[in-house]
Structure 1
C-alpha cells in the first residue's frame, strides 16, 4: 500500500537548507541508528548492502566504497583529532540535523513510492548520522538530534523546511526525486563551505566522505528522474 503524504507548508528558497549557511540547523532522530545514540567511539557502522541503481550506484554513501552489486565495506574515520572553533562546532551540529532531515524525507518517500533508491538512501543517511555523532561526542558538542522522532525538529525553521519538502515530494514520484536532488545539491554546497578554513583532520575526512556521498546520491536521483 502506498501512502502519499501531503502537508501544507511554507517553502524556502533554494540554498536555505545549506548547513553552515545562514538559514538552518536541521534535526534529530530517536533510538538506534539515525534516531539513537549511535556508536560510542568509532565511526564504523555495521556491514551494509549495496544495490545497483543505474550506472553503478550502490556505493555506501560516504563511509563505504562498495560496489553496485554487493556488500559495502565501511570506512572508519581514521584521521587524527584536531581542534574546532565555536563556529565549526555549530556547523558540525547542524550537519547532524541535516542528515536526519534527509533520512526522514527519504524514509517517508520510501513508504509512498515503489522506488528502491529511497530505501537505499534511508540506510545511507542513517550511517552518515552515526558518523557525525561520533564526531559530536569526540568534540564535546551536544547532539541536536537526540530523542527527536521522525519528521519532528526542535528548530521551527528546520521544521518548515522539512514540511515544505515533504509536501512537495508527496505530489508524485517525479516530485519526490526532485526533492532528493534539491537536498543533495544543498548538502554539496554546505559541505564545500564547511571545509573552508577547517584544520581538524578527522572532521575534514568526514566532510570529504559525505561530499562524495552527496555527489553520488545526486547522480542517482538524476538518473532515476530521467527514466
Structure 2
C-alpha cells in the first residue's frame, strides 16, 4: 500500500496470524531504489513459461468477469476480451495507442510487474497446498495480468525486473521478505490463505489507484483500469 497497511489478525483453526503493521506498498518495495524503473539486466529465461498457456484459458469466475467487464469504448475497445475464446489483455493492446510516461510513472509500471508476480506466486503456492479452486483460477488471471504489464514494459523500452526469476523469487530483498512473510502467514490454514489473498488484492487496488494518477498514455491507463477491475473481482472471490 502507498500508505501503511495493517494485515488484520486472523484466527483460523486455533492459529493466530500475526499482523503486519505499516508495511510499505508492494509496488514501492519492488522498485528496489531504481527511480528510472529500469531494473536488472533482462534475461531470455521465462519463469512463467510453464503457465504461458493459461493466457488463453478462461478464469472460471475471474477471467469471465474481467475479460468481459466493460473496458469502455474508444481507444480501450481493443482491451475487451472473450473469455470463451481466451483472448488476453496483452493481445488486446495491439489496437490501443501508446503515449508518453514520466520517469516516476515508468518506475511505478516496473514495480507493478513485481507486484503481479507476488500475487501470482502466492496463489500458485496456496493452490498447491489447499483444495480450493479459487487460487488456481486467479493465479491464471495474474499470469495474464503480468503479460499485459510486460507488454507495456516492452513498448516503453523498460527492462522487466522479474525476467529470469523463478516462482517465489523477487528482485529486491524487501519484496522477497514480504512474499516470504505473506506465504508463511497464508500457510497456517485455508482461512489464513484467504485473508492473505484479501490483503494482496486490497494492496493492489490501492497501488493501482495511486499509479493511475496523472497517467495520460492510453495503453497504460487501459491496463491499469483492467487490473483495478480484476483486483476488485478477486477481492470478492476471496470473500472481501
Q: TM-score, normalised by structure 2?
A: 0.73
> Which consecutive residues of structure 1, in runs of 5 or more, have no partner in the other structure?
1-9, 39-44
Distance 1:59 1:13 in 2: 35
Distance 1:120 1:190 in 2: 22
1:97-143 deviation digits (Å, cap 9, x = unpaired): 01111110000000000000001011111111111111001001011
Counterpart check, 1:98 vs 2:121: no
Name the structure 2 match of 1:51. 60
The CA RMSD measured in Å over matched residues stands at 2.9
> Which consecutive residues of structure 2, in runs of 5 or more, have no partner in the other structure?
1-17, 33-38, 68-78
* 1:24, distance to aligned residue in structure 2 (A): 3.7
Is the contact made by 1:29 and 1:149 (CA closer than 8 Å) also made in structure 2?
no
* 1:87, distance to aligned residue in structure 2 (A): 0.7
Counterpart check, 1:89 vs 2:106: yes
Please state whether the residue corresponding to 2:31 is helix, strand or coil.
Answer: coil
Distance 1:149 1:162 in 2: 13
Provide runs of 4+ in structure 1 moved above 4 Å.
26-33, 60-67
Distance 2:101 2:207 in 1: 17
Return the structure number with greater helix share.
2
* 1:17, distance to aligned residue in structure 2 (A): 3.0
Counterpart check, 1:194 vs 2:194: no
Name the structure 2 match of 1:25. 31
Please state whether the residue corresponding to 2:159 is helix, strand or coil.
Answer: coil
Q: TM-score, normalised by structure 1?
A: 0.77
Is the contact made by 1:12 and 1:161 (CA closer than 8 Å) also made in structure 2?
no
How many residue pairs end up in the alignment? Answer: 199
